[in-house]
Amino acid sequence: MGKISIKVENLVKKFGKGESEITVIDGANFSVNKGELVALIAPSGAGKTTLLMMIGCVEEPTSGQIYLGDEKVYDNKWLTNETRKIRREKIGFIFQAHYLIPFLNVIENVTILPQVNKKSKKEANKIAMELLNYFDIGDKAYSMPSKLSGGQNQRVAIARALANKPEIILADEPTAALDTTRSVDVVKMLKKIAIDQNVAVIMVTHDEAMLPLCDRILKIENKKVVSSVIPEKNII
């Protein structure tokens, strides 16, 4: 197993003030290694997406520490004014909806981030084609998202998330809109990415059928985060 990619210590998140204050996460401690696909599960409203967005430097925690790779990014406050830069350079986001830009073709969707990160168009296109071929959709590079199936669009969204060569991938229910066969396909793809690209992947899921494909489970219980191994592998 690779070295630690994500480490969270005593992480707390509260919403509201005074009598209406609600604690969602109360002292989370866990780490995720490079090359690992970890499922994050919890009942609805227990803070899965909030936890993911804190790790992704989108939602500000109330207190605690967050380390991404060798960098401590949060210690009771953001240690950088450049949280957007961290998101752009270190993190790939995948969501339930693919959020592809409908008036851009597939390759244009995938090249947006590399070009924002100052890659030339030629280099960005090269990265995009490598990723699209890796996901067996290179032949769709110049198609519009509306011409693709839901599963194909989700592959494009994963390619886009990888286009900035992130160290960390945060996937928020990436299979929720897909049937079981396509869901298995996407999760196997995330596992392959974790190993091939040596990245840490955290996937929020409510689908227990996907858990045997993961390396480990993080579960939010009583506002804490509990880590457990997968009891049986490869049931699917």
Number of structural domains the chain divides into: 1
The widest CA-to-CA distance across the chain, in whole angstroms, is 57
Residue 168 domain-assigned (yes or no) = yes
Q: What is the mean pLDDT of the chain?
A: 89
Per the structure, the complete domain to which residue 203 belongs is given by: 4-229
Residue 13 domain-assigned (yes or no) = yes
CATH number for the domain including 49? Answer: 3.40.50.300
Give tens-digit pLDDT for 82-114: 898 898 889 999 888 778 999 999 999 999 888
Q: How far apart are the first and last CA of the chain?
A: 23
Residue 79 domain-assigned (yes or no) = yes
Residue 236 domain-assigned (yes or no) = no
Model's pTM, two decimal places?
Answer: 0.89
Predicted confidence at residue 1, as pLDDT, reads 47
Q: What span, in angstroms and rounded, lies between the C-alpha atoms of 129 and 147?
A: 18
Give the tokens for residue 2: 């690779």
Residue 235 domain-assigned (yes or no) = no
Residue 234 domain-assigned (yes or no) = no
Residue 176 domain-assigned (yes or no) = yes
Residue 73 domain-assigned (yes or no) = yes
